[in-house]
Structure 1
């Protein structure tokens, strides 16, 4: 990549940080002091906020290295720590977003049956278990033989190095592909259920549709493009097409920077997922005239 490309991406990360920090701080304030997430069964939503803070904390360091024209830090400890944090944020965001979608799926499609997810989301211990289970998936970023910048497809010196790279790619693609299949399935079933319901039941179903659709938007913008670009990058490297690789690397790096925007899009999920959070946020941070307009929109929406 040319220095001007690094510079442009660094400024994009700075914009994401400048917008993401106050947004997530305001969300955190609402969750703790106004909404009191532990009383409103919104522990999973709060965990997404925590994951977003991990991402926001990494952006200044990533932007600084890009300002210097470096894809990664020359300090191995810093480089691996940033990768660990980014992988952990990615995994946690996806895990809790899909869990929310499954909760809506069971509430709508299997209404009346026992909802395991609904019971699990009330327990903070389950959230801790999810974080602990995610830690082993980030281990490949901490192995001493791990090369930070897309090393799979290169000639390797040791079998261990190759195994580490392969495992990392399986994790990278698996944590996107399988959750996305689940998400598409949940969306299809909820929409199909909406068509069969009577008018009086449709308000709750529409909200469920908006929840899963908001998660689809996050996936479509933040996770799917970079995943597809990485698949192309690996294919190009295995074919040893050097000129094409230079172009694909630029595209991949750009889409990875775009993927950091999930810290800006996740609050949409919070609003669609829990009207109580949305009301608390609007009442705290929005001017009166915006509050009145939103109240009118909600009134008209509920009576459609």
Structure 2
């Protein structure tokens, strides 16, 4: 395998591009940090997620918050002409955190979609996800499993300091590198396939249901569609770009790689938008969280309007009007009319 050892792959190929990306990252941080802090506050102090059986949602919040606090370091590297930190420990730690928290966010989002799938398509059957939601130990087990899968990012350096085609690879190095890429792609492609399956089945079920059952189904459709949107905007573009980058790198096309790597890093910046879009998933998943958030942070003049708005969640307030009619014989008939 030929390798161009004269090229410093850790340095930015075009500093102007990375200056812009650094400001975009800081914009995501400035918007995302207060948003995620406010969501954490609602889940812990107002919504009390442990009583509402929303442990999986809370885990997504934690994963998003941990990813958000990593962004200033990423912006700092870009500002100083580095794609990744030149310090090996910092480089490994940053990739470990990003891989772990992105994997956690994806895992718990998919579990929520599977839960909706069983509640709608297999209503009446035993839903194993409901059992999992009642046991916090399952969430801990998932984090431990994700930690295990993320360890390869710490064994050898990543991106600027390796990867396939970057150095003369020993067998152990090659196995670690290959495992890392397998984890990266399966982390996206398998969940997205599961998500598409759940979405298609739920939408088909909605079409066959009667009018009286459509409110619950509409909510389920909104949940899975919101997760599809998060995947389509945040994760799929960077995954495709990484596949192209690996192909170019293995062919040792340095000029092409300088272009593709900028596209890949730009799409990775786009993937951080996940931390800003996930609160929409929380609202679609649970109207109680939406109501708690609106009543806490929205101005008074907006609260009444927003709380009465359905958003397709079936949360519109229902009022009952009583109509009393009296017949000639003196009997009274009471009619109830819902609005």
TM-score class normalised by the smaller sequence = over 0.9
* Deviation (angstroms), 1:299: 8.6
Task: Name 1:48's counterpart in structure 2.
Answer: 60
* Deviation (angstroms), 1:287: 1.3
**Would you tell me which structure has more strand in proportion to its own residues?**
2
Could you tell me whether the CA contact under 8 Å between 2:92 and 2:158 is conserved in 1? no
Task: Name 1:232's counterpart in structure 2.
Answer: 244
Partner SS for 2:309:
helix
* Partner Cα separation in structure 1 for residue 231 and residue 313 of structure 2: 26
* Partner Cα separation in structure 2 for residue 136 and residue 128 of structure 1: 13
Please point out which of 138, 144, 158 is paired with 1:147: 158
Partner SS for 1:111:
coil
* Partner Cα separation in structure 2 for residue 102 and residue 219 of structure 1: 15
Task: Name 2:32's counterpart in structure 1.
Answer: 20
Could you tell me whether the CA contact under 8 Å between 2:202 and 2:220 is conserved in 1? yes
Query: Aligned runs of 1:151-300 on 2, under 5 Å?
Result: 151-298=163-310
Query: Aligned runs of 1:100-111 on 2, under 5 Å?
Result: 100-111=112-123
What TM-score do the two structures reach when normalised by structure 2? 0.86
Could you tell me whether the CA contact under 8 Å between 2:227 and 2:281 is conserved in 1? yes
Q: Cα–Cα, structure 1 residues 127 and 290, in superposed 2: closer, same or farther, change >3 Å?
A: same
What TM-score do the two structures reach when normalised by structure 1? 0.96
* Partner Cα separation in structure 1 for residue 121 and residue 97 of structure 2: 36
Higher relative contact order (CA 8 A, sep 6+): 1
Q: How many residues align?
A: 303
Q: Deviations over 1:179-232 (max 9, x none)?
A: 000000000000000000001100000000000011001101111000000011
Larger-gyration structure (1/2): 2
Task: Name 2:4's counterpart in structure 1.
Answer: none
Partner SS for 2:169:
coil
Query: Aligned runs of 1:42-121 on 2, under 5 Å?
Result: 42-121=54-133
